[in-house]
Amino acid sequence: MSPSTRRATLRASLRDRELDALLVTNLLNIRYLTGFTGSNAALLVSAESDETSVFCTDGRYLTQAERQVPDLERVIDRPCDVALATRAGEAGLRRAGYESRHVTVEALDALTDAAGPAALVRAPGLVEELRLVKDDAEIEALRMACAAADRALAGLIEHGGLRAGRTEREIARELESRMLDHGASGPSFESIVAAGANSAVPHHRPTDAVVHAGDFVKLDFGALVDGYHSDMTRTLVVGQAADWQRDLYELVAASQAAGRQALAPGTALDAVDAAARGVIEEAGYGEQFLHGLGHGVGLQIHEAPALSKAGAGTLLPGMAVTVEPGVYLAGRGGVRIEDTLVVRQGAPELLTLTTKELVVV
């Protein structure tokens, strides 16, 4: 779907809400609607047409804007949001929406003054609603990001990068370097490498802790490709796996399989969480499953929808989500298994293809 098609879809939402325009200030939403990747911009999307919509950036991005946003009027000014609020007032707009989730109180005061006779109306989440369902180009970018992460982990294991004596930080650095080698522009987020008892900390940050034989090593990482993020977690054992480790791993794997199987259009978000969580609760480890089952992924590493107990709404075809149950035994070790998937009719499309069998290195 082209940016112009996305703007046309947004215009229908504006008309439904009796808004003359939407002032877009969130940079990811601007990227989604225009393709612009710079660090400073604003966009005024007219409910009428692209001919009356305006894009603004500053002089640093003059050439880039010409290339990435060739189909809209371009204004070079600073601050961009104030410049476009002024345009809204000068154009005689009655009601212009603004992204109230992303505008500070002080910024709103400045925008209100600049808009003059145009009333600024809170309009949160309009672009994010469009971003919930991914189009073919977005899903292809997600596939490429997931493939880069899969290949990086395979190379790390194949070349002995996961072994006793290495530190968590060393492993994380190598893993991120290998993702770059496989086409990523960077990691999706700070990679999690958690060894031994640290694997029981859901979002442990890599340290100089040394990996020992018999440790669980939890790897939560992703690659960034064309602005889209992948997200995958695998938990491995170094040396030889103990019986308790195999039992814990099998429990989480069963929960993760139940969560994946529940991904179907029309399924309630909280029901997907319940399908996976119930497996762990039945085994007596419900209190050790410390987070929601998963989240949307795309231009942000964490975006809507939320697969959790509090998740509201239902799955739609084309949503990209993670399924990542975990059980964490404080002071001992933990297991999390995570995939990125796309909701489809019939069965979800699995994007992270690394084996979910317990790997012992």
Which among 80, 88, 82, 76 is positioned nearest to 45, based on CA atoms?
A: 88
pLDDT, position 269: 98
Q: Is the pLDDT of residue 268 over 90?
A: yes
Give per-residue pLDDT as tens, 69-102: 999 999 999 999 999 999 999 999 999 999 999 9
β-pairing, 73-76 vs 54-57, is: parallel
Whole-prediction pTM: 0.95
134-146 pLDDT, tens per residue? Answer: 999 999 999 999 9
What tens digit of pLDDT does each residue of 34-63 get? 999 999 999 999 999 999 999 999 999 999
Q: pLDDT tens, 103-119? A: 999 999 999 999 999 99
pLDDT at 1 over 90: no
> Which one is the CATH code of 3-130: 3.40.350.10, 3.60.20.10, 3.90.1330.10, 3.40.1050.10?
3.40.350.10
Q: Residues of 153-178 as b/e, b for ≥16 C-beta within 10 angstroms?
A: bebbbeeebbeeebbbebbbebbbeb
- pLDDT, average across residues 198-216: 98
Break the chain into its structural domains and give their ranges.
Answer: 3-130, 136-350
Average pLDDT over residues 270-294: 98
The secondary structure element, H or E, covering residue 321 is strand 320-323
Assess whether pLDDT exceeds 90 at residue 26: yes
User: Of 203, 211, 148, which is closest to residue 177 (Cα–Cα)?
Assistant: 148
Q: What is the CA radius of gyration of the chain?
A: 23
Handedness of CA 282, 285, 286, 291 (dihedral sign): negative
Question: Which of 327, 231, 237 lies closest to 287, judged by CA?
Answer: 327
- The continuous run of DSSP H or E covering 186 comes out as strand 186-187
- Considering the four listed CATH numbers 3.40.50.9100, 3.90.230.10, 1.10.40.60, 3.20.20.110, the one that applies to the domain covering 136-350 is 3.90.230.10
pLDDT at 221: 98
